[in-house]
Amino acid sequence: MAAFQLLFPLLVTCVAASARAPRRLPACQVVQSDAFCSDLSLRSAPLDLPPGVQTLDLSRNHVQNLTRETLAFHSGLRRLNLRSNEIHFIQPGLFTDMADLKVLDLSRNHLHVLALSKVSLGPLTSVETLDLSSNQLYTGMTDYFLADSPSLEVLSLNGNSITKIAQSAFGGSPRLKKIGLHNNVILEIEGGAFDSLSNLTELDLSKNSITCITDFNLCNLKVLNLSKNSVELFQSVTSTDHYRLLSLDLSENKMSSFPLLPRNNRLEHLDVSRNRLQSVNDTGTPDEKTFLYHLRYLDMSYNHLKSLPECFFHCMGSLEVLNVSNNCISSFSIADERFLRTVKTINLGYNSLRSLTFGENTLQSLEELVLRGNDLATLDHGVFRQLPSIKHLQLRQNNLEICSSDRERQDAPGCVSFSSVPTLEILDLSDNQLRTLPADAFAGSPLKSLDLSLNPGLDMDRDSLLGLERSLVHLLLRENNISSLSTDLSSLTSLKHIDLSTNQLTAVPAWNRDSSIESLNLQNNHLVTLEYSTMLALEHSLKTLYMGSNPLSCCSNLDLLQMVQNSAVVVPDIETATCVHEEYSEPVNIEKVTWDMCHTSGVRYYAIAVAVIALVVVVASVLLVKCLQARKPQHRSFNA
Ligand SMILES: *[C@@H]1O[C@H](CO)[C@@H](O)[C@H](O)[C@H]1NC(C)=O
Ligand SMILES: *[C@@H]1O[C@H](CO)[C@@H](O)[C@H](O)[C@H]1NC(C)=O
Ligand SMILES: *[C@@H]1O[C@H](CO)[C@@H](O)[C@H](O)[C@H]1NC(C)=O
Ligand SMILES: *[C@@H]1O[C@H](CO)[C@@H](O)[C@H](O)[C@H]1NC(C)=O
């Protein structure tokens, strides 16, 4: 009976399934006139799609032959997605009559097989966007698809095996605006290949094998990407034509000289990072120089530049971001206030800077200066006061010393001052082998974020953070080998995030209810107890507490641990947050600590007391019974 009960619903399901056998495949999702049939193991479009479908998504199926039948005779489509199928045959003339088809995605198929058969596809009458990426197409094969595509505007040929762009390659698609040829093996572009394309504005040739661009003459192009090729030379035609190029990416190539750009250009974004630039040309008469009046972003990082003369910037009146990090520049100096007036960010990180000077009133817009990894030791002590807009100084991995006010007054060399920089908000002085942090080190600089980490042995004066009471929000002091803080952190009333991890602290700094600490990192210190009253004072603002890798005592911190267990404070390193309990050989995770664990001995005494009382009662009653028995009449024996 039980078996039948189980069988019956099964039978019903089978019968129901066989009744609609022709539609056994999972159905497409139809939303208004759009049909989504992705990933359904289909060989063709289902026959039961409603008429008038405009979007058909057949991606990730098993379509092999693309014919009118496989599209279930839907000829009114606007968008057809056949990405990731196995198409190796397309019925000639299939798209001729599809007068509404604007977007056709044939990426990730086997179209090289079709091209090998040399059957022309016929016109792509109205297709505007065509994706032929990842089809193993090689040189010449694109002709079968592009020969007659009068409406085509956006074409992707990314991820194929094209080695050469022939002069005639785009002759059949004169309206192209955007061509993607990323990730092919292009070695050669025949002269004039793009000349007929007067609407072409974006060309992506990144990740190919192009070695040389001479006579660059595509005036209408706005975006050109030549990143990840082997370009050694980029040269434009000498002419006075106006070029519209806005963005040129030449990163990751083999250029040893700065590109020769069109004289009349509007270039805004130029990336020549990761090349072999040795120098920038600062010679030549003004006539021969490249004018980059519109340039806003210039990346020359990861090259071999040894110097960067300030006259190089003479015609860059709009530059906002300059990245020259990871070069071999030993000195950087801007004396003329006309140069780099608009620049907001300069990245000079990872060079070998020995000297850095800024003239009066120069770099008026500079907000962010990155000098990390330069091993800088001596700087003019007022150097950062010369920068009227400086907000963010990144000085990690240098060898700087901070001036005390007396030393500065005496004009003693060898130290840098960070006080009285009225715009400074973010300062990173980590990993500088700082020994001392003098009093008033940052007075008059409204710092919001201060990183002093990785300066082991740092001796902070009691008044070193004076003046930051109402501004400082982030303070990082990790890996400083600090055993006790002499600086009073409780006066920093804006402080929200403090990192004290990896030190030798044995006590939590004293805080009171005026503090607004939200995140406190105490990981990896020598803390045995966390002062409960301090933690209680923090509870109202605290959101995140790192406390792992400390030799905490379970039972001395019971109140605290229960507070952590019951409050909304997140302990991200809970895995390593353990405490020591004398009765456990291994440290106990703080989540597992209970009140009883620390009061078990009391319980045991209670149990022993109960047991003793019980024993006494038992013994007493036994004695009593015996005693009563003894009092019974003596002569119970039967004398025979
Ligand atoms: C695809 O179509 C061609 C030509 O119509 C035919 O020869 C071939 O057998 C078809 N292949 C499949 C897998 O249907
Ligand atoms: C150029 O192409 C590379 C590689 O595809 C890409 O990472 C980079 O973002 C592109 N450059 C621009 C400016 O879009
Ligand atoms: C160069 O620096 C700028 C600004 O700091 C940054 O946006 C860019 O990613 C850097 N370039 C490289 C190649 O790291
Ligand atoms: C860290 O401090 C201890 C004593 O507190 C000292 O023995 C040790 O040398 C210091 N380590 C460094 C790297 O300063």
Q: How many CA atoms lie within 13 A of 295 on its CB side?
A: 28
pLDDT in tens, 136-170: 999 888 888 999 999 999 999 999 999 999 999 99
Ligand 4 atom, smallest distance to 504 CA: 5
Q: How far is CA 195 from the centre of its chain?
A: 39
Ligand 3 atom, smallest distance to 325 CA: 1
Distance 65 CA to ligand 1 centre (A): 6
CB 240 within 8 A of CB 264: yes
Task: Say yes or no: CB of residue 91 within 6 Å of ligand 1.
Answer: no
Residue 240 is assigned to a structural domain of this protein: no
Q: Which ligand is nearest to the CA of 110?
A: 1
Predicted local confidence at residue 413, as pLDDT: 75
Residue 513 is assigned to a structural domain of this protein: yes
Between 626 and 83, name the one with better pLDDT.
83
Cα distance between residue 30 and residue 570, in whole Å = 45
Predicted local confidence at residue 315, as pLDDT: 86
Measured by CA distance, the residue closest to atom 2 of ligand 4 is 481
Tell me: pLDDT of 439 over 90.
yes
Task: Say yes or no: CB of residue 303 within 6 Å of ligand 3.
Answer: no
Cα distance between residue 418 and residue 411, in whole Å = 14
Tell me: pLDDT of 616 over 60.
yes
Distance 251 CA to ligand 2 centre (A): 9
Predicted local confidence at residue 6, as pLDDT: 41
Tell me: pLDDT of 20 over 80.
no
Residue 90 is assigned to a structural domain of this protein: yes
Percent of the chain with pLDDT over 90: 70
Q: What is the mean pLDDT of residues 402-427?
A: 87
Between 612 and 18, name the one with better pLDDT.
612
Domain boundary among 164, 186, 209: 209
Between 633 and 579, name the one with better pLDDT.
579
Query: Which of 8-22, 415-429, 564-578, 617-631 has the weakest average pLDDT?
Result: 8-22
Cα distance between residue 487 and residue 437, in whole Å = 10
Tell me: pLDDT of 620 over 70.
yes
Residue 406, judged by CB atoms within 10 A of its CB (0-12, 13-18, 19+), counts as exposed
Mutate to test the pocket of ligand 3, among 323, 325, 428 (most ligand atoms within 8 A of CB): 323
Q: Token pair 């909304």 is at which residue?
A: 568
Cα distance between residue 294 and residue 267, in whole Å = 6
Domain boundary among 153, 183, 209: 209
Mutate to test the pocket of ligand 4, among 454, 458, 478, 481 (most ligand atoms within 8 A of CB): 481
Between 431 and 338, name the one with better pLDDT.
431
**Structure confidence at residue 610 as a pLDDT band (50, 70, 90):** low
Tell me: pLDDT of 111 over 50.
yes
**Structure confidence at residue 24 as a pLDDT band (50, 70, 90):** low
Predicted local confidence at residue 11, as pLDDT: 38
Between 426 and 338, name the one with better pLDDT.
426
Dihedral angle of Cα 119, 122, 126, 130, to the nearest 10 degrees:
10
Distance 270 CA to ligand 3 centre (A): 12
Between 625 and 307, name the one with better pLDDT.
307
Ligand 3 atom, smallest distance to 274 CA: 13
Tell me: pLDDT of 608 over 80.
no
Q: Can you give the CATH number for the domain in which 585 is found?
A: 3.80.10.10
Mutate to test the pocket of ligand 2, among 227, 229, 231, 269 (most ligand atoms within 8 A of CB): 227
Residue 450 is assigned to a structural domain of this protein: no
- Per-position DSSP letters for 216-280, written without gaps between them: E--TT--EEE--SS---EEEE----PBP---EEE--SS--SS--B--SB----EEE--SS-----
**Structure confidence at residue 7 as a pLDDT band (50, 70, 90):** very low
Tell me: pLDDT of 67 over 60.
yes
Query: Which of 42-46, 130-134, 179-183, 562-566 has the weakest average pLDDT?
Result: 562-566
Residue 632, judged by CB atoms within 10 A of its CB (0-12, 13-18, 19+), counts as exposed
Cα distance between residue 583 and residue 50, in whole Å = 74
Ligand 4, pocket residues at CB < 6 Å: 456-457, 481, 483, 504
Measured by CA distance, the residue closest to atom 9 of ligand 1 is 65
Phi and psi at 601, nearest 5°, equal: -60, -40
**Structure confidence at residue 595 as a pLDDT band (50, 70, 90):** confident
Q: Which among 519, 585, 579 has a CA at the least distance from the CA of 549?
A: 579
Predicted local confidence at residue 600, as pLDDT: 61
Distance 550 CA to ligand 4 centre (A): 18
Residue 98 is assigned to a structural domain of this protein: yes
Residue 457 is assigned to a structural domain of this protein: no
Residue 287 is assigned to a structural domain of this protein: no
Tell me: pLDDT of 26 over 80.
no
Q: Which ligand is nearest to the CA of 272?
A: 3
The CA-atom distances, in angstroms, between 395 and each of 321, 392, 428, 430, 580 are 18, 10, 5, 7, 40
Q: Which ligand is nearest to the CA of 270?
A: 2
Per the structure, the complete domain to which residue 533 belongs is given by: 496-603
Predicted local confidence at residue 107, as pLDDT: 98
Q: Taking the model in full, what pTM does it have? A: 0.85
Tell me: pLDDT of 92 over 60.
yes
Tell me: pLDDT of 636 over 50.
no
Domain boundary among 191, 209, 227: 209
**Structure confidence at residue 601 as a pLDDT band (50, 70, 90):** low
Distance 397 CA to ligand 1 centre (A): 66
**Structure confidence at residue 5 as a pLDDT band (50, 70, 90):** very low
The CA-atom distances, in angstroms, between 557 and each of 507, 513, 561, 595 are 13, 20, 6, 11
Q: Which among 389, 472, 462 has a CA at the least distance from the CA of 427?
A: 472
Ligand 2 atom, smallest distance to 223 CA: 13
Q: How many domains does the chain have?
A: 2
The CA-atom distances, in angstroms, between 582 and each of 297, 507, 551, 559, 572 are 62, 21, 12, 18, 26
Task: Name the token pair of 336.
Answer: 């003329």
Predicted local confidence at residue 633, as pLDDT: 52
Ligand 1 atom, smallest distance to 64 CA: 13
Residue 504 is assigned to a structural domain of this protein: yes
CB 564 within 8 A of CB 536: no
Task: Say yes or no: CB of residue 299 within 6 Å of ligand 2.
Answer: no
Task: Name the token pair of 498.
Answer: 């403090």
Task: Say yes or no: CB of residue 206 within 6 Å of ligand 2.
Answer: yes
Residue 294, judged by CB atoms within 10 A of its CB (0-12, 13-18, 19+), counts as middle
Tell me: pLDDT of 21 over 70.
no
Cα distance between residue 595 and residue 604, in whole Å = 15
Residue 583, judged by CB atoms within 10 A of its CB (0-12, 13-18, 19+), counts as exposed
Cα Dmax for the chain: 152
Task: Say yes or no: CB of residue 323 within 6 Å of ligand 2.
Answer: no
Mean pLDDT of the chain, nearest integer: 89
Distance 117 CA to ligand 1 centre (A): 13
Highest mean pLDDT: which of 15-24, 422-431, 508-517, 583-592? 422-431
Distance 206 CA to ligand 2 centre (A): 7
Tell me: pLDDT of 417 over 70.
yes
Distance 370 CA to ligand 3 centre (A): 11
Distance 348 CA to ligand 3 centre (A): 10
Rounded (5°) CA angle 536-541-545? 75
Ligand 3 atom, smallest distance to 301 CA: 13
DSSP, collapsed to helix, strand or coil, labels residue 610 as helix
**Structure confidence at residue 9 as a pLDDT band (50, 70, 90):** very low
Distance 249 CA to ligand 2 centre (A): 7
**Structure confidence at residue 4 as a pLDDT band (50, 70, 90):** very low
